[in-house]
Each structure stands twice: as C-alpha cells, then as structure tokens.
C-alpha cells in the first residue's frame, strides 16, 4: 500500500493556504448549523453573485443546439444571441463535445487577440495565445516549461497568491521572494528587487522569471505604469521572463487609477527581448465564472521553436474544456450597444462592479477604523490584506529568535488568530503566513465578496473580536 | 528572450504522437481542400457522432436555470430532465459558475460510488473518488504523487497510449516497458512482467506502479478476468500500485467478452493491500463528450493521510470544471426505464454502440484480408493496432543494428509509411512507434470512429496503397 513516506516529498512540502485547515473547520461548523461568512476565496457565485445572463444564454444554446431550430427559442433568447450561437456553431461545428486544437479553438484565439488589440491599442498574434482551464493551468504550464535545472528560481511577490509558492515547491524549483512595499500601497520596489535577486544569486540560485500580480492578490493594489516600466527594465537587465498575472484587470475601483497591461507598457517601451507571459481568466472581473475554468495565456517575444514546445506541453493534456473556451470568448467579445442583449449586460456588469466598489470601501474604511488594524480601501482585485497588531506574551522576544524560529512563531500566531476568529464569529479568512509577510508583521487576507450586509457584520464583529483577543493576551501577560 | 536551450529538457524529450507532425500535415492538406479521413484520435464528435440528447438537455437547463421557470421549458424538455435539473440545482445551489470542493461536488462523488457499487456489486467510498478534467488529469495526478526519487519507475504496456510515456518523461520518472502479447490477443503475460521488472531493477530502477489499459488503447483488446487476477498478484508480490485506465469500459463489442474492473477483481480476491487507482472519462464509451473534459479517479487501499495529500494536490489547481463534473454525473446516473427521456437515451446509446461494433468488424475484417497486414476485429475500445510487413531495402540488415539504431530505423519506416499514406489517400493514422512496438515489427493505430462509408473507403484505399508501397520498395531493391 502507498504510505506517506512513498509520496513525492515536494508534494508533502507544498502548502496551499486558501483551501487549508481553517476552511475545512469552517465547513465543519457550517455542517453543525453555524452561519459562516466565507471570505477565504475569490469564488463570487458561491457568495450569491449572479452570472451574467448573456453568457449563460449562449452556453445553454450551444450545449443543446437543437434549441436554435425551435420556435420557442425566439421567446426565450435575445435575437443577437441566437445569431451569435449560430455563428459559433459555424466556426466550431464540432460543438462543445469534441477535443479542440491543443492551443484552443482558432476563432476564439483570434477574438482574444482582437480584445488585446482593442484594450491596449497594440498588435496581438492569435498564434501566441493559448486557451487554458483557468489562469492557474497557464501559470503551471510556464513553470513546467521554464524549470530546467534544480537551481532555477522564480521571483515572486511577498505576499503572493499561493498557487505560485505551491507550484514552485511541487515542480522542484527555487522560490525567490521580493517584498511588496506595504507603506507605498503595495507597489514593487526596485531596491528590493535588486536585493532579492542578488541574495538569490549569492545562494547559487539562477532566477529565470519574475511573477507580478496586478491588480494584486492578496494586496488589492493596482500598479502604476511607472512601476510596471521599472519591472520590465529590471527583467531585461537580469534576463528574466515576466509572468504577469492580470486576472483582476477589470477589478479596479479607486478613482483615477487604471489597469495597465504589461503587454501595453512593453509595447510602449519598444521592448522586443523580454519574454512575457500574461494570464487572464473568466473567474474574476465581473463574470466570476470560476466553475467554468476558462482563461488564456498570451505570450510575447518567444521564438517559434520554443512556442512549439509550449503547444506540445498543452497537447499532452489534449485541450482545455470547451465551455471554458466559450466563456473566454464571450468575455472578450461581449454584446455591443445596439444588440438586443446589450442593455441587460451593461446593467448587470455595472451592478456587479458598483457593488464590489462599495463593498471594498465598507471593508477598507471599517477595518482601518479598528484600533490595531491596518488596511486601506482596496484599489482593485477582490481582497484586502489586513495588518493587525498583537502584543507578545510575557517573556517572548521575537528579536532574539532565528529567522526560521520567527517565521514559525508568527505563522502560529496568525493561524491561531484566524482560527479563533472563525470559532468566535463565523468569519473565515486566510492567515497572512499563507501568502507570506514581512517578519515582524501579522496579516490576514479577506475578500469583500459576500453580500453587503455580511461585510458590515464582518467589520463589526471583527472590531469586538480583535479588541477582546488583544485584551486576553495582555491580561495573560 | 527564452531560447530553446532554456526550456525544460524533459519537455524537449517528451513525445506525444497522437497530436504530432502527421496530424499537422493532415490539417494542412485539409486547408488545401483535400478530404482527410481522421483516424488519428478518439474524438467521436469531431467525426459526426451526435451527443446524447439527454446530457445536452440537462446541461442547457443548468447553464441557464431561468429556463426552468419558463412555460416554454415543458415543450422543449422531457419532464424527468426538468425535475432532474431542479434536483441538481438543489444539491449544488452555486451552479456551474462556482469553484467546487477540490475533489468535486459531493453528490456527484456519491453518484459515482453508487455507479461502481451497481456495476461491480462491491462497496465504494465517495471519499476515495475525485472528479477530474478528463481521465488524463487523474493519471497525471498519480504520477505527480508517486514520483519521489529520480529512479522511481512505472511499468507501462507496449504499445501504450502516449499520455503515459510523455508524462513519465516530463515528470522525470523512469519508464519500464512490458510488451503486450500480440499473438495472444494483446493480453498481459506474466513471464514478460517478471522479465521487465527484473531488468528494471538490474538497471537501478525502483518500480512503484504498473499501468494497465483495459480495454486497450491502442490494442482494442479486452482483458480476461484471469489476466487481471494475474496482474493484481504480480503487483502485490512486487509492492506496486496499480493504475487501471478503464476509460473504454463501455466499449466492448466481441461476443462473449465482458469488461471486468480491477476494483471488482481485487474485491473478489479479498485484496486489501494493493493501492488501486482507476480512471474513467466522459470522453469515450457512447458519450464521446471529449470537449467537456470530465472524468473521475477512484482510489482503493489508501490511508487517510496519503489521500489528504492527493486532495491537497487537487486543491492547488482549485477544482475540475463543473460542466465536466455534471456530465460525469449524467454518465453514471442515466435515465431509467419509465423516465420520459429513457426511450430516446436507450435508442441513441444502442445506435452508437451498434455502429461502433459494426465499424470495428468492417475495419478488422477488411484490414486482415490485405496481404501483408495483420489485425483482428477489435474486441473493444475505439482502435485497431495494425501490424504491417515491409521488405527491407537492399543492403539493410536490421539484425546487424544496435537496438537503438534499430528503434530509430523502424520509427523512421513507420512514420514515412503513415505520412505517405496520408499524402496519397488522405487517411490520417498514427505510426506504431508513437505507442511503442516489438523490435522487428511495424504498426499503425487507426480508430474506427469515422462514418461507416469512410471506414469502407479506408479499407479499399489501404489495400491499394499498401500493395503499391511494398512494390515500390521491392522494385528499388
């Protein structure tokens, strides 16, 4: 029988906090009849966000194309969507039930290229676009492709989305941390990048790529164009590929801020040397179609022979799921003004984004008003990475610990805090140690996806809980 | 810029013939207006097989649940499927757009357990069932989990489906070949298993699992119960896990033959030590829903702590796509006699399986009547692995070659043959070297999925082509 000692030691070491023990405990409590406010994961439709009607209408027609021939269809579906479904059937006559090309259905890759062209005003090549089962699978494909030797390393932000750390561990590569600048709205800092890569090289690591998440997960930050330019220059100077995780590109709420894609900034810089992988997904934005596992990866500055290897890698898994490909198509080619389906689409989109913006404010303002808690109104994405202060128990001096001891001590502290928060209030958040944090700081990540009233409740309960938790430590001192 | 020399050397070495160069050439020819008969891949709905109506009806309702409330729905959908869709919405209220548990939606895992129980008359545990994006992703998860050290090896059949060889190469494990017994209807041979594992151990390889494909891909063979028993005993004696690829379990055509699952035979033997992974998919059988990327993996004889690691591995990719999970559910819980949708379901199923059986016979009989070609009527699956004889050109003596030279020589010969076949006749098959074959033999794999008339054409054209090809070699001698 397979025993734990037989299991891939890299798998044993990998950690993926977003679905860890606290979530398991939350499900247990819910099973016992407790109300749980799930703020642990960006899963909008599990938190009552409704899907966009037009997407589901087109999918329902494509799953059962005989509907297109029925007289009832005209009563049930807007005319433009019936026409759209017919067009899709023409361009993909094998339907939803056949394997596609490994890179994805050609007309959808072309639609993605058109979307990028329109979004950024730059050319895009459908032969450098791959449709993937969500962005995660694209990210993992890049790690598979670029990890060649044991000392190959990836620079990743701290805090980061743990897909990155878990996959690096699993694939046997080296994780190279660079800290985001919390004091400066979680932007990247050039000195810190230099420090990080120099330290890595000193340790015999060969950094091959830098990952950037913009808008940020878990930080909720939106990077400035100047910050992106700096990263591109840094990547060029250090011969790094760039992995740009841009799945929250539609989730920008802060006034005056704008999403800038790495592709667009690279184009402006005339940069033709740095290989860029950028990722997008149907799971976030205002679609929230996580369950459909759709997304794409766009690649720039990659020779044909290398791209051929990426296609081969995709072919081993055959292709991404067709419904996910179709949702990706609908994301990049939504209804246009004048279409029968447009008004509803625009109002649903507006409602979802408006609601998210409002909830970001309720959360950010509410939390930052709590003594000992620090957060800003998230500029984008679906998260706040909240810093909180805890006194140390009597006799404990973190400064006297080794860095490993300190990491463990702090991870135990934020985990205990989040578990207690769950037990006492039903609020389920993820400890900062699951994403990484500066030594000496404690955080948790919370989404602002639950309904507005739940967010308000969360802020109130959090305040009471935190005050009591701190009091308890103090009184034990 | 990323250069070929930067790419993971394991990826560079991996080969996946089913989507290789010959297929690319076929697409090129088709683009030029040539008629191509695609026999390279088991992709039924790309070859005019119609999806089962009930599956698509349920999916269309679940994608757009508002249909359920419309008076038109009753005209468009059978009553039992409307009720079924409502039941599914009740059991999975988040719908198709939310991430699910990492292992898959609980009620679907329970339905899979019930299906196994009913199919085999044995108990099954929904907490050892994981829903996967097609069977491929389940197979790859097992390779990820069990590959711990560089010398860990996997016994795989030769010929095999190249997912196995490609993934082993990619994950840095060792491939341990055992030859299937072509003279004995492609069954496994105990002496050959012993020879294979002894040779592997002599070479410092530590075999951790044995993969078996039943019904066979590319062989079309159905394993006898005695053969399966032998494999289980062999696995036990050698402390191997078993990977049972059972995706063609519904595709058994030969009179008197029956599919026996490894789970059932293990249960009969009272075997509680050997870890078993078995795989099933919605892509094959009579569904042919390849594009939906649905499937499951069932695990037996695995302790909780090890299973926890498998769940963690799945969680890093979040979950499999929900539509694929739903199709898996519908596969294991089809309409029952008395349901309004039953008659159509039964007739569609019967037509597809009857057609496949007939096409297997046309292909097998036709090919075996060609001089210099050897095939039997496929007992199951969707393929024939056809052996063909070619004379050697003047002055070439394969017996005088090293085994590496011979492998290359023969791979060049079958590839050249298949490419010429494509160019001359438009028939697209995959060279035997892509699956592996006994030294001294040449094969190709062909599906029998195209429409009946195409299969008849294929047999006729193949005869003319082969005769002419052999003549040409002879006349050059």
pLDDT tens for each residue of A300-348:
999 999 999 999 999 888 899 999 999 999 999 999 999 999 999 999 9
Q: Quote the number of domains for chain B.
A: 2
- Given B301, B332, B363, which residue is the final one in a domain? B332
**Are residues B425 and B462 in contact, defined by beta-carbon separation less than 8 angstroms?**
yes
- Given B332, B366, B390, which residue is the final one in a domain? B332
What DSSP character marks residue B86? H
Nearest CA in chain B to A164: B316
Q: Which residues of A touch B138 (CB under 8 A)?
A: none
Q: Is residue A310 part of a domain?
A: yes
A11 and A43 housed in the same domain = yes
A203 and A304 housed in the same domain = yes
What CATH number corresponds to the domain at position B294?
Answer: 3.40.640.10
Q: What percent of chain B has pLDDT over 90?
A: 84
What are the pLDDT digits (tens) for B198-237?
Answer: 999 999 999 999 999 999 999 999 999 999 999 999 999 9
| A288 near B CB under 8 A | yes
What gap in Å lies between CA B111 and CA B369, rounded to an integer? 45
Token pair 């749980």 is found at: A36
How is residue A99 written in tokens?
């394997």
**Mean pLDDT for the stretch of residues B153-179:** 95
Q: Given a cut of 70, is residue B477 above it in pLDDT?
A: no
| B24 near A CB under 8 A | no
**Are residues B131 and B296 in contact, defined by beta-carbon separation less than 8 angstroms?**
yes
- pLDDT for the residue numbered A47: 87
What gap in Å lies between CA A282 and CA A125, rounded to an integer? 20
pTM over 0.90: yes
What CATH number corresponds to the domain at position A406?
Answer: 3.90.1150.10
Nearest CA in chain A to B167: A316
For A189, the domain range is 95-332
Q: Is residue B337 part of a domain?
A: no
Q: Is residue B217 part of a domain?
A: yes
Q: Provide the shortest C-alpha distance from residue B19 to chain A (in Å).
A: 7
| B266 near A CB under 8 A | no
Q: Is residue A78 part of a domain?
A: no
Q: Is residue B15 part of a domain?
A: yes
- pLDDT for the residue numbered B252: 96
- Given B302, B332, B362, which residue is the final one in a domain? B332
Q: Which residues of A touch B12 (CB under 8 A)?
A: 309
The residue ranges of chain A whose pLDDT is under 70 are 18, 477
- pLDDT for the residue numbered B56: 98
Q: What is the largest CA-CA distance in chain B?
A: 78
Q: Is residue B437 part of a domain?
A: yes
How is residue A42 written in tokens?
């960006």
| A317 near B CB under 8 A | yes
Q: Per the CB < 8 Å rule, is B6 touching A61?
A: no
**Mean pLDDT for the stretch of residues B9-20:** 83
- pLDDT for the residue numbered A24: 84
Q: Which residues of B touch A43 (CB under 8 A)?
A: 94, 98-99
A232 and A362 housed in the same domain = no
Q: Per the CB < 8 Å rule, is A316 touching B163?
A: yes
What gap in Å lies between CA A59 and CA B238, rounded to an integer? 49
A36 and A101 housed in the same domain = no
Average pLDDT score over chain B: 94
B314 and B379 housed in the same domain = no
Q: Given a cut of 80, is residue B19 above it in pLDDT?
A: no
Q: Per the CB < 8 Å rule, is A291 touching B97?
A: yes
A303 and A223 housed in the same domain = yes
Q: Which residues of A touch B78 (CB under 8 A)?
A: none
Nearest CA in chain B to A303: B3
Q: Can you tell me whether residue B181 is helix, strand or coil?
A: strand
A369 and A444 housed in the same domain = yes
Q: Is residue A114 part of a domain?
A: yes
- pLDDT for the residue numbered A477: 65
B208 and B353 housed in the same domain = no
Q: Given a cut of 80, is residue B80 above it in pLDDT?
A: yes
Is residue B76 very low, low, confident or very high in pLDDT (cuts 50, 70, 90)? very high
C-alpha separations of B266 from A343, A387, B56, B259 in Å: 59, 54, 35, 14
B43 and B109 housed in the same domain = no
B322 and B437 housed in the same domain = no
Q: Can you tell me whether residue B152 is helix, strand or coil?
A: strand
Cβ-in-10-Å burial (0-12, 13-18, 19+) of B405 comes to exposed
Is residue B194 very low, low, confident or very high in pLDDT (cuts 50, 70, 90)? very high
**Mean pLDDT for the stretch of residues B433-457:** 92
Q: Is residue A191 part of a domain?
A: yes
A270 and A369 housed in the same domain = no
**Mean pLDDT for the stretch of residues B326-343:** 97
Instruction: Residue window 220-259, chain A: list those with CB within 8 Å of chain B.
Output: 241
Nearest CA in chain B to A287: B97
A323 and A358 housed in the same domain = no
Nearest CA in chain A to B13: A309
């Amino acid at each position: 029988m397979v025993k734990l000692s037989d299991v891939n030691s890299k798998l044993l070491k990998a950690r993926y906090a977003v679905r860890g023990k606290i979530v398991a405990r939350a499900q247990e409590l819910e099973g016992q009849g407790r109300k749980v406010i799930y703020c642990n994961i960006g899963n909008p439709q599990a938190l009552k966000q409704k899907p966009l009607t037009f997407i589901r209408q087109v999918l329902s027609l494509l799953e059962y194309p005989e509907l297109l021939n029925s007289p009832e269809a005209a009563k049930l579906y807007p005319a433009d969507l019936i026409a759209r479904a017919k067009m899709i059937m023409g361009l993909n006559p094998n339907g939803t039930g056949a394997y596609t090309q490994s890179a994805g259905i050609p007309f959808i890759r072309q639609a993605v290229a058109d979307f990028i062209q329109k979004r950024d005003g730059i050319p895009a090549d459908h032969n450098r676009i791959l449709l993937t089962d969500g962005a995660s699978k694209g990210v993992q494909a890049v790690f598979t492709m670029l990890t060649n030797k044991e000392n190959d390393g990836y620079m990743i932000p701290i805090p980061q989305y743990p897909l990155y750390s878990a996959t690096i561990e699993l694939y046997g590569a080296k994780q190279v941390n660079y800290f985001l600048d919390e004091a400066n709205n979680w932007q990247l800092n050039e000195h810190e990048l230099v420090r990080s890569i120099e330290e890595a090289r000193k340790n015999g690591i060969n950094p091959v790529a830098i990952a950037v998440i913009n808008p940020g997960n878990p930080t909720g930050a939106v990077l400035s164009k100047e910050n992106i330019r700096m990263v591109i220059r840094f990547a060029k100077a250090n011969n790094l590929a760039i992995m740009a995780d841009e799945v929250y590109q539609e989730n920008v709420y802060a006034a005056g801020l704008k999403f800038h894609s790495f592709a667009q900034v690279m184009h402006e810089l005339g940069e033709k040397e740095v290989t860029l992988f950028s990722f997008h997904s149907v799971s976030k934005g205002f679609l929230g179609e996580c369950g459909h596992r759709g997304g794409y990866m766009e690649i720039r500055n990659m020779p044909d022979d290398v791209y051929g290897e990426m296609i081969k890698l995709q072919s081993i898994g055959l292709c991404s799921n067709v419904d996910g490909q179709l949702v990706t198509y609908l994301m990049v080619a939504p209804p246009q003004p004048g279409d029968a389906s447009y008004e509803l689409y625009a109002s649903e989109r507006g409602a979802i984004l408006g609601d998210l913006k409002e909830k970001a404010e309720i959360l950010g303002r509410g939390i930052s008003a709590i003594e000992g808690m620090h957060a800003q109104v998230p500029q984008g994405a679906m998260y706040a990475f909240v810093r909180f202060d805890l006194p140390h128990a009597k006799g404990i001096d973190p400064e006297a610990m080794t860095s490993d001891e300190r990491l463990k001590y702090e991870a135990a502290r934020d985990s205990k805090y989040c578990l207690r928060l769950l037990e006492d209030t039903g609020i389920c958040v993820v400890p900062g140690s699951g994403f990484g944090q500066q030594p000496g700081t404690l955080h948790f990540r919370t989404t602002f996806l639950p309904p507005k009233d739940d967010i308000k409740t969360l802020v109130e309960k959090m305040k009471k809980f935190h005050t009591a938790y701190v009091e308890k430590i103090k009184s034990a001192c």
